[in-house]
Structure 1
Amino acid sequence: MPELTKYKNIIATVLSLLLLMGCEELEPIPGQPWQVSVVTPSFYPIKITQAYGVNEEQDWKMPIHGLSQSMRKSRIDYVRTVFPDYDGFGFPLSSLTAVNGRQVGSANKHLPDSIYIYWTSLINMRFFVTKYDLPQKVKEIMAKGVSFERYDGSLGYCFRNEFFFGMLPNGKAKVWLMGCDQLIYLAELEPAREKDRDQNGTTADVYRRGSKPEKAKQRGIDAGVSTVPIPWEKVGKVYSTDTVELLSEQ
Structure 2
Amino acid sequence: MNKTRRLLNACLLSLLSMLAGCANGRGHPLPYDAWFLGLFSPDYMEVWIETADVTDIQGRVFRQAMSGTAAIQTPPDNRGNPKGWPKRPGIGAGKLVIGADLPRVIYVNWQSLVEPQTYEAYIEIPEEARQLMLKPERSYCNLDGKWITDYRDFLTIGLAPGGIAKVWIRGQCTAPIEVTRVVGKVDPRGPYLGRSGGRYRPLSDISKAYVEKFGVPYGSW
Q: Give the TM-score, by structure 1 length.
A: 0.64
How far apart, CA to CA, are the structure 1 residues paired with 2:167 and 2:174? 16
Q: Which residue of 1 aligns with 2:208?
A: 218
Using the alignment, how far apart are the partners of 2:198 and 2:192 within structure 1?
Answer: 15
1:131 alignment counterpart: 122
The aligned residue for residue 120 of structure 1 is: 111
Matched with 1:177 is: 169
Larger Rg belongs to: 1
Question: How big is the shift at 1:214?
Answer: 6.3
Q: Distance in 1 between matches of 2:189 and 2:108?
A: 16
Secondary structure, in 3 states, of the residue corresponding to 2:130? helix
> Counterpart amino acid of 1:77?
P
In the alignment, the residues of structure 2 paired with residue 112 and residue 164 of structure 1 have an alpha-carbon distance, to the nearest angstrom, of 12
DSSP-derived class of the 1:205 partner: coil
Distance verdict in 2 for CA 1:74–1:33, change over 3 Å:
same
Aligned to 2:13: none
Tell me, in whole angstroms, the C-alpha distance in 2 between the residues paired with 1:162 and 1:219: 33
Looking at structure 1, the residues matched to 140 and 210 of structure 2 have their Cα atoms a distance apart, in angstroms, of 45
Give the secondary structure class of the aligned counterpart of 1:206: coil
SS at match of 2:103: coil
Percent of aligned pairs with the same residue?
A: 17
Deviation of 1:157 (Å)? 1.6
Q: Give 2:110's aligned amino acid.
A: W
- C-alpha distance in 2 between matches for 1:218 and 1:192: 24
**Counterpart residue type for residue 93 of structure 2:** V
Instruction: State which of 177, 183, 194 in structure 2 corresponds to 1:190.
Output: 183
Deviation for aligned residue 1:192? 5.2
**Residues 157/94 of structure 1: CA separation in 2 closer, same or farther (3 Å cut):** same
Query: Letter of the aligned partner of 2:83 in structure 1?
Result: F
Report the alpha carbon displacement of residue 91 of structure 1 after superposing the two structures with TM: 3.5
Alignment of 1:71-82 (within 5 A): 73-77=71-75
Return the structure number with greater strand share. Answer: 2
Alignment RMSD: 3.2
Q: What is the CA deviation profile of residues 72-108 of structure 1, one whole-angstrom value per residue up to 9, with x for unaligned ones?
A: x424229x9xxxx74233445113xx222333xxx22
Take 1:142 and 1:36, find their aligned partners in 2: how far apart are those partners?
A: 13
Q: Distance in 1 between matches of 2:137 and 2:204?
A: 45
CA contact (8 A) 2:109 2:121 kept: yes
Tell me which residue corresponds to 1:157. 149
Residue 53, structure 1, aligned to residue 46, structure 2: no
Deviation at 1:68, TM superposition (A): 0.8
The residue number in structure 1 matching 2:83 is 89
TM superposition score normalised by structure 2: 0.71
Q: Which residue of 2 aligns with 1:244?
A: none
How far the C-alpha of 1:26 sits from its partner, in A, is 6.0
Q: Any gaps of 5 or more consecutive residues in structure 1?
A: 1-22, 237-250
The answer to whether the 8 A contact 2:51-2:66 is kept is: no
Structure 1 residues 27-69: Cα deviation after superposition (integer angstroms, max 9, x where no partner): 432124122111111222111011111136x341113445412
**Is the counterpart of residue 232 in structure 1 residue 205 in structure 2?**
no
5+ unaligned residues in a row in structure 2: which ranges?
Answer: 1-23
| Other-structure match for 1:4 | none
CA contact (8 A) 1:76 1:88 kept: no
State the aligned residue count: 190
Change (3 A) 1:77 1:225: same
Match of 2:94 in 1: 100
